[in-house]
Structure 1
Amino acid sequence: MRGTSIKFAVAAALAAVVLAACTAGRTTAAPAAGAGSSTTGSPTASSSPVVTVPPVPAVTSATSSMTPATSTPDLTTSSAPATTSSPKPPPVVIPAATFSASPRIGSTGLPPRTAISLKAAHGTLAGVTMKGSDGTVVKGMLSADRTTWTLAEPLGYSSTYTLSGKAVGATGKAVPIAGTYGTVSPDNVISANISPGDADTVGIAAPILISIGTDIMNTVGRQNIEKAITIDTVPKTQGSFAWIQHDDGWGLDWRPKVYWAPGTKVSVKANLYGVSYGENLWGKQDLTSSFVIGRSEITKGDINTHHLKVYRDGKLVFDFPTSFGLESDPGRVTHGGTYIVMSKEYLHLMSNPAYHYFNFKAYYAVRISNNGTFIHANDGTADVQGYDNVTHGCANLTTSNAKAFYDQTMYGDPVEITNSSIPMSQSDGDVYDWSIPWDKWQTLSALSKSYVG
């Protein structure tokens, strides 16, 4: 299409030129002088007109009149900006090593089990050592990346320890670590013990008794003691601590919610060293005990039927005719509740001045209370055993029956006495743990929200 337009434009221009030439040819040109002219005046031939053809416009003119003009950049001209110089980077600053200590170096009055630690920043720790006043090196542990040091054993009471070492930076520059720590000076350190003992086999009602060498009345101190003791059982057993008044003072007992499962393995760890009992009294030593629960044996005594029945693993193995305490005399009543077998003696001498007997020979005596309640032989009451209650509070059996019971019972076996007119209580001797209902028992832990001290 573009080429056809050009052709039309050229043709139109030529036509205009030709038309102009034709119009101009109508004018007669004068003859040139001496050019074969005749004197007679006869007509002569006319000269041919001269036609001047104007130049044909360039095709590009026609094209430019129909196509918008565009500007083509000159690629040969460089337009890059002028080069400027970049600023130099600041010099790299390597920070010097620093360290922090917890608690701060120079602290005094610290509990022996304080978790002392050092931590390096922008570097590592080197040569960290803690020594006692006698030069003994205290155990410490350096982390794998050498940035943290921690104390790895308890310190002694009333002691000063010297700390030394350094924190080393990336450039090798060292910052010295130096100072001392001081531990608490107790007014007294208190011993304790655990029952049952190592390797014991005990009955299904045996509580764990933590006997402490003095009465601990401070609530925070009691809480600290409980927190320091762990009890692991296989299988897992639900239980709780309780602060109990024993014959020799206050103690901490732990019992399961229900009787132990036979064969349960029990491990007790009492990390009491370095523990504050309050009033500047502190624990003297750590204690451990591991024991096992034996077979299930439950002895059930019924005041009304005058019998003791022994069940082993749920089966009745003995049914002993018995005489219990005289019900008409409150001083002689066998109190009702759940006792445990506490100890056994082949011969125990019994005295009760209020009832005028001294050094009575009780054979095959099984103690169930520190207030003098036993299951023992007494052939003097054999004629009423199984029929009447006439004793001073003990359960009397014939010698043969007493020996049979004595030979197979063990510490921690429960003895359940029912239908008594007087329930057993705190006054009935050391172990009355099972006479306290479970809901009440839980509130006797110093860690209980319901604890009242």
Structure 2
Amino acid sequence: MGIALVAGAVLAGTSACGGNSSASTPTKDDAKAASSAPAATASPKPTTPKPLGPPMLLDTITPETNTTVGVAMPISVVFSNPVATSARAGIEKAMKISTSVPTTGAWHWFSSTRVDFRPESYWKPGTKVTIDADMTNVPNGNGRYGTHSYVHNFTIGDDDEASVSVTGHSMKVTHNGTVVKTMPIDAGSPSFPSWDGTMAVIDKAKEVRMTSCSVGISCDKSSPDYYDLTLPWDVHLTTSGTYVHYSTGDPYPGHSYGSHGCVHLSLANAKWFYNFIKQGDPITITGSPRGKAAGDNGYADFNLDWSTWLKDSGEGQITTSPAA
């Protein structure tokens, strides 16, 4: 699957193009370390509280603390064990979010183990965000209880965005609303179309091995759709395997549908884009017949309209305030 961060959210269907790359695996939160803690035992000291039950652990919190991310980056929390629907509002209340700029947003449960927070519209550049998740003794509704707090601080960077026109074979890149570069691209073919919609950058890697077998296209080496390539300057858009990158099989894009669903740039443009873009920057693809990527296929959270987003929120819409 490649992305430990959202392993539970990978789509069951095949993807356009993909790769297995250890460089694509984000660092685990320190929550993992808690799973190896010794089991609690009875204590003769009355001041030592007895655990209410087995621990509820957080598998990951993203973005990582002390990072700068793009305006479309959600806060994504993955739990090690399923959370009951009845416990969701309580868990959301325990995961307090404060911001330097008041922001209207909400949590949304993609599954029993993954919940994301996003603003109604993109974050304002420069916003400082803190998530203070005091999970101590918070129940998950399935007999488990939180054991400690998790605090992450991150900053919203410049508003850097890219818009890809599949039919126009072009990509427009903006920086704080000003166009800085327009580049020729090739996107997915009619047989293997690209995802439409807005996808926040998951991560990027200088090289990624991409294989047709890993994404269910073909494992037959004699098939014309078989490939096994290690390609440079890879910007990762979906957990199902969509990248913006350079392809040796399509070195001069801008004229056709030359990929299995990825977005191809020339070598020079791919390197430039790799150096320009950051995690959480929104990449919007239009003109593809495949439809929008599911919200949990990576960080495509903004593919859900606000009313749909709120339907799977325990607490509902909130407005953040500065930390006390």
Tell me which interval the TM-score lies in, with the shorter structure as reference length: 0.7 to 0.9
The aligned residue for residue 390 of structure 1 is: 258
CA offsets 1:38-84 (integer angstroms, 9 cap, x no match): xxxxxxxxxxxxxxxxxxxxxxxxxxxxxxxxxxxxxxxxxxxxxxx
| Aligned-partner Cα distance in 1 for 2:266–2:307 | 39
Instruction: Tell me the amino acid that sits aligned with residue 259 of structure 1.
Output: Y
Does 1:367 find its partner at 2:236? yes
Does 1:352 find its partner at 2:220? no
The CA deviation at 1:193 is: 3.4
| Aligned-partner Cα distance in 2 for 1:340–1:299 | 10
Q: What pairs with 1:150-169 in structure 2 (closer than 5 Å)?
A: 162=46
The CA deviation at 1:428 is: 6.9
CA distance change for structure 1 residues 235 and 345 in 2, over 3 Å: closer, same or farther?
same
The aligned residue for residue 301 of structure 1 is: 164
| Aligned-partner Cα distance in 2 for 1:256–1:158 | 44
Does 1:412 find its partner at 2:295? no
In the alignment, is the contact (CA less than 8 A) between 1:158 and 1:185 conserved in 2? no
CA offsets 1:257-304 (integer angstroms, 9 cap, x no match): 111111011111000121111121111321001111111111000111
Question: What SS is found at the alignment partner of 1:201?
Answer: strand
The aligned residue for residue 207 of structure 1 is: 74
Pairing partner for 1:291 from 132, 154, 158 = 154
Pairing partner for 2:53 from 186, 195, 217 = 186
Instruction: Tell me the amino acid that sits aligned with residue 98 of structure 2.
Output: D
The CA deviation at 1:250 is: 2.7
The CA deviation at 1:408 is: 1.2
In the alignment, is the contact (CA less than 8 A) between 2:295 and 2:304 conserved in 1? no
Q: What pairs with 1:168-317 in structure 2 (closer than 5 Å)?
A: 183-216=50-83, 218-245=84-111, 250-317=113-180
Which residues of structure 2 form unaligned runs of 5+? Answer: 1-39, 219-224, 318-324
CA distance change for structure 1 residues 210 and 159 in 2, over 3 Å: closer, same or farther?
farther
Structure 1-normalised TM-score? 0.56
| Aligned-partner Cα distance in 2 for 1:226–1:358 | 44
Work out which of the two has the higher radius of gyration on C-alpha atoms and give 1 or 2.
Answer: 1
| Aligned-partner Cα distance in 1 for 2:170–2:226 | 25
Question: What SS is found at the alignment partner of 1:402?
Answer: helix
Pairing partner for 2:307 from 424, 439, 452 = 439
In the alignment, is the contact (CA less than 8 A) between 1:338 and 1:414 conserved in 2? yes
In the alignment, is the contact (CA less than 8 A) between 1:158 and 1:184 conserved in 2? no
Instruction: Tell me the amino acid that sits aligned with residue 113 of structure 2.
Output: W
CA distance change for structure 1 residues 277 and 367 in 2, over 3 Å: closer, same or farther?
same
Pairing partner for 1:426 from 294, 302, 318 = 294
The CA deviation at 1:187 is: 3.5
Instruction: Tell me the amino acid that sits aligned with residue 225 of structure 1.
Output: I
- Specify which structure has the bigger relative contact order, considering alpha-carbon pairs within 8 angstroms and separated by 6 or more residues: 2
In the alignment, is the contact (CA less than 8 A) between 1:193 and 1:287 conserved in 2? no
The aligned residue for residue 22 of structure 2 is: none
Structure 2-normalised TM-score? 0.77
In the alignment, is the contact (CA less than 8 A) between 1:300 and 1:416 conserved in 2? yes
The CA deviation at 1:157 is: 8.6
The CA deviation at 1:182 is: 6.9
CA distance change for structure 1 residues 158 and 389 in 2, over 3 Å: closer, same or farther?
farther
CA distance change for structure 1 residues 277 and 185 in 2, over 3 Å: closer, same or farther?
same
The aligned residue for residue 197 of structure 2 is: 337
CA distance change for structure 1 residues 158 and 263 in 2, over 3 Å: closer, same or farther?
farther
Q: What pairs with 1:109-148 in structure 2 (closer than 5 Å)?
A: none
Question: What SS is found at the alignment partner of 2:313?
Answer: coil
The CA deviation at 1:379 is: 4.2
Instruction: Tell me the amino acid that sits aligned with residue 401 of structure 1.
Output: N
| Aligned-partner Cα distance in 1 for 2:51–2:160 | 49
| Aligned-partner Cα distance in 2 for 1:350–1:357 | 11
In the alignment, is the contact (CA less than 8 A) between 2:186 and 2:256 conserved in 1? yes
CA offsets 1:346-382 (integer angstroms, 9 cap, x no match): 1101001334434312110111111110000124323
Question: What SS is found at the alignment partner of 1:426?
Answer: coil
In the alignment, is the contact (CA less than 8 A) between 2:56 and 2:81 conserved in 1? no
Instruction: Tell me the amino acid that sits aligned with residue 345 of structure 1.
Output: A
In the alignment, is the contact (CA less than 8 A) between 1:344 and 1:365 conserved in 2? yes
In the alignment, is the contact (CA less than 8 A) between 2:52 and 2:137 conserved in 1? no
| Aligned-partner Cα distance in 2 for 1:182–1:341 | 43
CA offsets 1:70-102 (integer angstroms, 9 cap, x no match): xxxxxxxxxxxxxxxxxxxxxxxxxxxxxxxxx
CA offsets 1:151-204 (integer angstroms, 9 cap, x no match): xxxxx89667648xxxxxxxxxxxxxxxxx974541444234321122100011
Aligned CA-pair RMSD: 2.2
CA offsets 1:222-280 (integer angstroms, 9 cap, x no match): 222111011111111111100014xxx73110000111111011111000121111121
Give identity over the alignment, percent: 28
| Aligned-partner Cα distance in 2 for 1:250–1:338 | 23
Question: What SS is found at the alignment partner of 1:240?
Answer: strand
CA distance change for structure 1 residues 344 and 427 in 2, over 3 Å: closer, same or farther?
same
The CA deviation at 1:418 is: 0.9
| Aligned-partner Cα distance in 2 for 1:160–1:255 | 45
| Aligned-partner Cα distance in 2 for 1:160–1:251 | 38
